[in-house]
Chains A and B, each alone.
Chain A
């Protein structure tokens, strides 16, 4: 298989892969393909340079970064003889939505547009069906905490968990379980009243203030969203702002009614 064919197959299978291409230096166009736990494919014509670039490409891939790096002819740091463009093809970020409610279908659609792999999870088999969420990659009938015990270890900074159940018996265990993961964004839906009751239950369950800070609730940006579709936009916009660290106004950041009267 050619390097291109390996790259193509990995991208289509959503397996993590990084392509390192020499764009400046002695062999422009030379390429090395890097995958976790597999041998690198290709060469820049210098074993030392290859080794350093493979190491750096694996690190960039883990972080999901695409970037240019510079080296000496044999991989030396702080030299500019060789420019290597490292393009990471990381698997799509994941969104797990707990609660198969009206808002869920709209959130699934917007998140799919943004490139997320989306899972809907609800303990009620009658609501958690593929027919109701045709664009979801996976619809799971399970209790949120039990499901997260299975998959939570895979969650990282790029991923998101949205708790839309607004029923304490589902959402408190879901939030507790999500707080045990490294998920980058954790949001929970509900009115101000629902939310203060939920916060009290979380504190009673032993969650300290520092960990409560991770919970974006009430979920979403304060853009006056009313419909499920608008609410989905407000949630996804908050996920983006959370990731980029931009000061967009979250509903959590103020008091007063969520919906204009």
Chain B
């Protein structure tokens, strides 16, 4: 959270809406601990991360949707399937990511 605060502050200062995505649970092997945070503004600018780069793209898309709808969403990512057509983690873990508009 601390690592995204500077960007969040700048975006808020520019009057931009911001979504906050945080890892809320990790089962098995996972790259980042619960609490790891990624912030996304309405233009699609990103700060921070929630994995080792595996799911950030998908979380960005979801976060923009969350900003449009104004409703939070709980996402779960598991192992990537073999033909890599699906977003997931290569490490074999399962992570849950809570995405919410930073409107509180």
Whether A66 contacts B98 by the Cβ 8 Å rule is no
A29 within 8 A of B: yes
Report how far A68 CA is from B102 CA in the complex, Å: 20
A24 within 8 A of B: yes
Partner of B5, one of A11, A66, A85: A11
Partner of B25, one of A2, A29, A68, A89: A68
Whether A28 contacts B104 by the Cβ 8 Å rule is no
One digit per residue, 1 when the CB lies within 8 angstroms of any chain B CB and 0 when it does not, for chain A 77-91 equals 000000001011100
B1 within 8 A of A: yes
Between A and B, how many residue pairs show CB distances below 8 Å? 51
Whether B24 contacts A85 by the Cβ 8 Å rule is yes
A111 within 8 A of B: no
Q: A91 to nearest B CB, angstroms? A: 12
Report how far A171 CA is from B24 CA in the complex, Å: 44
Whether B24 contacts A2 by the Cβ 8 Å rule is no
B33 within 8 A of A: yes
Residue of A nearest to B24 (CB): A85
Whether A87 contacts B5 by the Cβ 8 Å rule is no
Chain B residues contacting A7 (CB-CB under 8 Å) are 1
A123 within 8 A of B: no
Whether B104 contacts A29 by the Cβ 8 Å rule is yes
Chain A residues contacting B33 (CB-CB under 8 Å) are 66
How many residues does chain A have at the interface if contact means C-beta atoms less than 8 Å apart? 21
Whether A87 contacts B22 by the Cβ 8 Å rule is yes
Given contacts A8-B5, A29-B104, A89-B1, contact A21 B35 (CB under 8 A): no
Given contacts A11-B5, A23-B74, A29-B72, contact A85 B98 (CB under 8 A): yes
Partner of B34, one of A2, A3, A28, A68: A68
Q: B100 to nearest A CB, angstroms? A: 5
Report how far A197 CA is from B24 CA in the complex, Å: 50
Which residues of A (1-40) have their CB < 8 Å from a CB of B? 2-4, 7-8, 11-12, 21, 23-24, 28-29, 31
Report how far A23 CA is from B72 CA in the complex, Å: 8
Q: B103 to nearest A CB, angstroms? A: 8
Q: A211 to nearest B CB, angstroms? A: 33
Partner of B104, one of A2, A11, A88, A89: A2
Q: Which of B1, B33, B35 has the most CB of A within 10 A?
A: B35
Whether B74 contacts A28 by the Cβ 8 Å rule is yes
Report how far A129 CA is from B2 CA in the complex, Å: 29
Residue of B nearest to A89 (CB): B1
Report how far A210 CA is from B67 CA in the complex, Å: 57
Q: B32 to nearest A CB, angstroms? A: 11
Whether B1 contacts A28 by the Cβ 8 Å rule is no
A67 within 8 A of B: yes
Additional A-B contact list (4), CB under 8 Å, known A12-B5, A87-B34: A66-B33, A66-B34, A68-B24, A85-B24
29 A-B pairs in the complex with CB atoms less than 8 angstroms apart: A3-B104, A4-B102, A4-B104, A8-B5, A11-B2, A11-B5, A21-B98, A21-B100, A23-B74, A23-B96, A23-B98, A24-B74, A28-B71, A28-B74, A29-B72, A29-B100, A31-B104, A42-B104, A66-B35, A67-B34, A68-B24, A85-B24, A85-B25, A87-B1, A87-B22, A87-B34, A87-B35, A89-B1, A89-B2
Task: Please provide the 8 A-B residue pairs with the shortest distance between their CB atoms, ordered closest to farther.
Answer: A29-B72, A66-B35, A85-B24, A23-B98, A3-B104, A29-B100, A28-B72, A87-B35
